[in-house]
C-alpha cells in the first residue's frame, strides 16, 4: 500500500503545490478542497487518477472536518502524514491608530488556529496507525515572539503564534505515541494568501513545497526542534 498524506487547503497556492510534489513522490494524497471553482485539483486528478482523492473540506466546520476524516478512514484505514495548510489572511493594513475589524480577526483565529486543531483531532487515531506519524503545519515566521518586527498585521501574527503554542502542546501529548509535530515557515511564497496572486513574493510555491516535503521525509526525531523553515533552518519561538 502507498504511503498516505492528507493536505488541507489544497485548492491553489502552496496546498496545490504540496499535493503535486507528494503525488510525484508516489504518495496517495487526500486533498482538502474548499473552493470548487478552481480547476487545478481536477487537472491533477486526471493525471494521477486513484492516487489523488479530492475531499470537500471547510476547516471551520466540524461536520465537514469529521466527514473528511471518516472518508480517509474508510478508504485508507491509516494516515502517514497530515499537513495542516489551510489558512486565511485578512488584516494587512490594520494598526493601533486605525480601526480593527474584530469580526475578521476572529475569523482568522477560527481558520488559522481552531481549523488545524479540528483537523488534527479528527485524524490523530489514523496517524497513530501510520508508519511515518508526521503532523505537519504551515505556520509562519510571523508567529515568532523573539523575532517579531511587524507594526501591523495583528490578527494574522497573533493567530500564527497561537497555532505555534497549540503545536507545542500537541507535541507534548503525542510524543509518547511516536507522533512528530512540525511547524513550518514556508518562506515568502508566490501564492494567493492576500486574496489575489502575489507576484512580489520571493519563491515559487513548488520550491517551498519541495523543501517542506524533503524535511518531512527526513522523519525528524521527536526531540528535534519543531519550528523550522522549508529548508530545515531553525526558527526562534
Domain ranges of the chain: 4-229
User: Region 33-52: what's the mean pLDDT?
Assistant: 94
User: Region 49-60: what's the mean pLDDT?
Assistant: 98
Residue 77 has pLDDT above 80, yes or no: yes
Q: The whole model's pTM is what?
A: 0.95
Residue 150 has pLDDT above 80, yes or no: yes
- Angle, alpha carbons 213-36-141 (nearest 5°): 40
Answer whether 34's CB lies under 8 Å from 57's CB. yes
Answer whether 60's CB lies under 8 Å from 114's CB. yes
**So what's the pLDDT on residue 78?**
98
- Angle, alpha carbons 16-86-220 (nearest 5°): 80
Q: What is the band of 98 on the pLDDT scale with cuts at 50, 70, 90?
A: confident
CATH topology for 4-229 is Rossmann fold (3.40.50)
Residue 7 has pLDDT above 90, yes or no: yes
Amino acid at each position: 500500500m502507498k504511503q498516505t498524506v492528507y493536505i488541507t487547503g489544497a485548492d491553489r497556492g502552496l496546498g496545490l503545490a504540496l499535493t503535486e510534489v507528494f503525488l510525484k513522490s508516489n504518495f496517495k494524497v487526500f486533498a482538502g478542497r474548499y473552493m470548487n471553482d478552481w480547476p487545478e485539483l481536477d487537472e491533477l486528478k486526471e493525471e494521477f487518477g486513484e492516487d489523488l482523492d479530492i475531499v470537500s473540506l471547510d476547516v471551520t466546520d466540524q461536520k465537514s472536518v469529521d466527514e473528511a476524516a471518516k472518508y480517509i478512514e474508510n478508504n485508507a484505514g491509516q494516515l502517514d502524514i497530515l499537513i495542516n495548510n489551510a489558512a486565511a489572511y485578512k488584516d494587512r493594513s490594520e494598526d493601533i491608530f486605525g480601526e480593527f475589524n474584530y469580526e475578521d480577526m476572529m475569523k482568522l483565529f477560527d481558520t488559522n488556529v481552531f481549523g488545524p486543531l479540528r483537523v488534527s483531532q479528527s485524524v490523530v487515531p489514523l496517524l497513530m496507525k501510520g508508519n511515518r506519524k508526521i503532523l505537519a503545519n504551515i505556520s509562519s515566521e510571523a508567529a515568532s515572539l523573539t523575532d517579531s518586527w511587524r507594526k501591523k498585521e495583528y490578527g494574522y501574527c497573533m493567530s500564527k503564534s497561537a497555532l505555534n503554542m497549540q503545536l507545542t502542546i500537541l507535541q507534548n501529548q503525542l510524543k509518547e505515541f511516536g507522533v512528530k509535530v512540525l511547524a513550518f515557515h514556508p518562506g515568502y511564497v508566490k501564492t494567493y494568501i492576500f486574496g489575489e496572486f502575489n507576484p512580489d513574493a520571493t519563491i515559487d510555491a513548488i520550491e517551498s513545497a519541495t523543501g517542506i516535503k524533503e524535511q518531512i521525509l527526513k522523519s525528524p526525531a521527536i526531540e528535534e526542534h519543531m519550528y523550522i523553515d522549508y529548508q530545515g533552518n531553525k526558527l526562534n519561538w
